[in-house]
Amino acid sequence: MLVRSPLGPAEIVQLLESLPDAPRQVPVWTIVLSRHQSLADRQRLIQAGARHLLSMPVDDATLSRVVRAALVDLATSKAIQDYVASHQSAVGRMLSAVFEIRTMDEAQKLSTMLATNCPVPEKVALVAAVAVGLGLSAEPAVAQGKVLKIGQIGVMSGPAAAWGLINKYAAQAQTKMVNEDGGFDIGGTKYKVEILSVDDKMDPRVAIAGTERLIYEDGVKYIIGPNVDEDSRAIIPVLAKGGAFNISYGWLRELFSPPSTNTSLGMIAGYQSAPVIYKYLKDTKGIKTLSCLPRNDASGLDSRDNCVAAAKELGLKILSSDSTYEPGTTDFFPVVGRVIKDQPDLLVLSGVAPADAPLLIRAARELGYKGLMSTETAMDAKILTEGAGKGANGYISVGGASTPDIRTPYMERFIKEYEKVAGEWNDEAGTKVYALEMILQTLRAAGPEGITNVDAFLKAMPKVEVDNPFVKDKSIKLKWIGDSYFHQTRQVRVPMVVTEFQDGSFKTLFIGTVE
């Protein structure tokens, strides 16, 4: 049952409580969408029968995933009830019991089993309510022992939502693996990992508020994200004041160069990949001219500047680089028409968001452009397929840092866990998986002091050089790099995998390096 209403939580509680008692003896998974939900509201809604709570507005993709998850929960619950009904049970004769609950999924299954057998099933609803009150979430949460809280902040709504969501799902999937394996050893003590996520909506003001919340309310010292330059730049003073460290996916060199010390680059930047891609296309495709079309924000314009610099260094003629489009644009035909009028050999979509890329590609193809297209940013195969279809074939981008031929069994396990969390694999998760691993490995090198003291973490960064759990090649060590670009080790070393989109998926063109 889906309840989508402008009513407040109190009115929705009344609605749920007004339902007949009979349906509560069979699985009825209720999804509630409302605009304001405090912790107390969420507890009351769960006690009233809700099982999934979302704050409006909610994008279609998120709602679809929640509905799919509810259907899985429904099937699991029904299977438990069928099993219990067919076996005699002593549960109904229990006077008291203690259960160790590690995840919300376990809490829901336990609630279903007890509610089926206990004389007063209404009391069992407290199991799920208490679980929410304790902060249990979809990823394995920690009920006992040492807890290492890691923050994740990024854009998880709007045209660029894929960037932040991939960070979130990757961190959740790897956290599940770490916790299932007993935790991560730091100084002889096993720590379970807990991920706390914030949607910054690609708004610097929201990014600042979210980072402050993670640091001062949640006690987080290490943060994955944000995804863009503006948000990353905005939180640098917050990180310095709060004694925290982040792995950013913005590209501005100033973010990672002195005097900034508490921010590291988590991927291959455009100014690192652009020269490699253009040289490959010059050598293999014979390109001689290109045009750059950036989004009119810091990330897009910086990508455009790097595009121009790389093209000049390779002796490529630049036909257009002055035209831009505003974030939120939906009609790209006018600006694309201006940029492709001279038919460049290569059209570079500088700093393009995943949701904008298919619209730009489709506009270019429908306007008669036959040349190559590329970007330095991460793309989403499903969005490209749905938005541009075969028009996206040949589109070149920097893909996830994992191809089938270089994956270890651990990476294959991660892919399976990611698919469980996100519903499907995204190639870019092969890059984003490195963030949490680098934080954990550096904390191991720093020792227990690094958990609360970022200075100890920073001192340990140059010492980290361990086997890469994600690639087979033992020569590709997991370590921090970046001295030649930022005059300090402030970049995660990830393989540069350049891909070409073909018929719904990314095909590897070549694997390069920034070193």
Per-residue pLDDT of the chain (515 residues; tens, 9 = 90+): 665 555 566 666 676 666 654 444 444 456 655 555 555 565 566 566 665 555 566 566 666 665 666 665 555 555 545 544 554 455 555 555 666 565 555 665 566 566 555 555 445 444 433 433 334 343 434 435 699 999 999 999 988 898 899 999 999 999 999 999 999 999 999 999 999 999 999 999 999 999 999 999 999 999 999 999 999 999 999 999 999 999 999 989 999 999 999 999 999 988 899 999 999 999 999 999 999 999 998 878 988 998 999 999 999 999 999 999 998 899 999 999 999 999 999 999 998 888 899 999 999 999 999 999 999 877 888 899 999 999 999 999 987 777 787 899 999 999 999 999 999 998 889 999 999 999 999 999 999 999 999 999 999 999 999 999 998 888 889 999 999 999 999 999 998 889 899 998 888 888 877 77
Integer Cα distance of 119 and 96 in angstroms: 13
Q: Which tokens go with 402?
A: 């994992």
Integer Cα distance of 318 and 308 in angstroms: 7
Integer Cα distance of 256 and 290 in angstroms: 29
Q: What's the CA dihedral at 329, 334, 336, 339 to 10 degrees?
A: -130
What residues pair up with 396 in beta bridges, in sequence order?
Answer: 374, 500
State the helix-helix crossing angle for 9-17 and 39-47, rounded to 10 degrees. 10
Integer Cα distance of 503 and 488 in angstroms: 41
Domains and CATH numbers, the chain: 2-133 (no CATH), 146-267+404-494 (3.40.50.2300), 270-377 (3.40.50.2300)
Residue 310 exposed, middle or buried by CB count within 10 Å (0-12, 13-18, 19+): buried
For residue 462, is the peptide bond before it cis, meaning its omega torsion is within 30 degrees of 0?
A: no
Q: Which tokens go with 507?
A: 């095909």
Q: Which tokens go with 140?
A: 């394995």
Complete edge-to-edge strand list for the sheet that includes strand 245-248: 184-186, 189-199, 146-154, 222-224, 245-248, 263-265, 491-492, 478-481, 465-466
Contact 303, 296 (CB under 8 A): no
DSSP state of 186: E
Integer Cα distance of 234 and 252 in angstroms: 12
Question: Sign (positive/negative) of CA torsion 279, 280, 282, 283?
Answer: positive
What's the pLDDT score for residue 62?
Answer: 61
Integer Cα distance of 373 and 347 in angstroms: 5
**Ramachandran angles phi, psi of 261, nearest 5°:** -125, -20
CB-based burial, 444-453: b 16+ in 10 Å, e otherwise:
bbbebebbee
